[in-house]
Amino acid sequence: MPPAKQPPKLLDQVRDALRTRRYAIRTEEAYSDWIKRYILFHGKRHPNDMGHAEVEAFLIHLAVEKNVAPSTQNQARSALLFLYRHVLHKEIEDPAPIPEANRPLRLPTVLTKDEVQQIFHQLSGLHQLLAKLLYGSGMRVLESGARWARLRVKDVDFTQSQILVREGKGDKDRLTMLPLSLHRALQVHLAQVKLLHEEDLAKGYGMVYLPFALARKYPNAAREWYWQYIFPADRLSVDPRSNTVRRHHADESGLQKAVRRAAQATSINKHVTPHTFRHSFATHLLEANYDIRTVQELLGHKLDFVRFF
């Protein structure tokens, strides 16, 4: 008689539940880490034997003893609620009292048009193109991963001068503008990326990650040019979920470092990150007499002025 099949480990169940609900791999990694830390904090007790009191104790520990940021505490809270509701199928008794940290309101850093140009002048090549694209389109750099990095060839429409941002905040698609001034530079970049893709294909690679069940529905699509990332990584890597060797999209950390160095090379006394270009994009559109509704739609926001950026 064959040995009885062992049930999957708890963290494997967590990963399966996250993937079933189409969570990003970074969320999967973060949630798994918080659940592991929660278990260790309570002496390796199984979460099934714990509940609201233990969750609350862990969150208070993070806030009081570890002095974590409100967003960090909220992420831990979300991870634990996901564990109980979607993996253990156990409702925590009266979850409302679980302390939820409030994010302090901060005014965003905004660059003047002259300051934007100063930073562009300090950048070159791909980083300059990316900075100009963020400023000209208002795409997010944060929020579940960099939106510019996930753009695919088919998402850019040069004829209509627009970009289709897929799976934005709230898992919604939206259109934003593609400045005419970037057409030529982006087309030259795409020509180089296409050559790289053709080289990958010649070596037996060239398959890009496709979301959800598209890879099964369209088995040849992963090699098609229009599905490829516009900003691919500079080397092949192993997909941690499928173990397939492929070229993933570029990592946003390179742009973050380049923008920080560029800002330091100027006389601008402001904390500048790639996300600053999004704030500046919105402000300068308003200064150019665009109405608030149009700007918020381009940003992918609900019509709520308080959460404008």
Question: What confidence score (pLDDT) does residue 130 get?
Answer: 92
Q: Among 194, 264, 180, 179, which residue's Cα sits nearest to residue 224?
A: 194
Residue 169 has pLDDT above 70, yes or no: no
Q: How confident is the model at residue 36 (pLDDT cuts 50, 70, 90)?
A: very high
94 domain residue, yes or no? no
Q: How far is Cα 89 from Cα 9, in angstroms, rounded to an integer?
A: 16
- Mean local confidence (pLDDT), 90-99: 68
Residue 284 has pLDDT above 80, yes or no: yes
Same domain, 150 and 287: yes
Same domain, 279 and 194: yes
Q: Which domain holds residue 21?
A: 10-87
Question: What confidence score (pLDDT) does residue 93 get?
Answer: 72
Range among 53-62, 86-95, 294-303 rated most confident: 53-62
**Which CATH number covers residue 77?**
1.10.150.130
List CB contacts of 22: < 8 A, sequence separation 6 or more. Answer: 211, 212
Question: What confidence score (pLDDT) does residue 302 get?
Answer: 54
Structure tokens at 293: 């509704």
* CB 127 within 8 Å of CB 254: yes
100 domain residue, yes or no? no
Quick one: 255 exposed, middle or buried, by C-beta within 10 A (0-12, 13-18, 19+)?
buried
Question: What confidence score (pLDDT) does residue 113 get?
Answer: 93
| Bridge partners of residue 249, in order along the sequence | 232
Alpha helices by DSSP H, listed for 123-181, are: 125-137
Same domain, 47 and 164: no
Residue 304 has pLDDT above 50, yes or no: no
Question: What confidence score (pLDDT) does residue 220 get?
Answer: 87
Q: Count Cα neighbours of 79 within 13 Å in the Cβ-side half-sphere.
A: 26
Looking at the structure of the chain, the number of domains it has is 2
Q: How far is Cα 39 from Cα 23, in angstroms, rounded to an integer?
A: 22
Same domain, 39 and 155: no
Residue 86 vs residue 95, higher pLDDT:
86
2 domain residue, yes or no? no
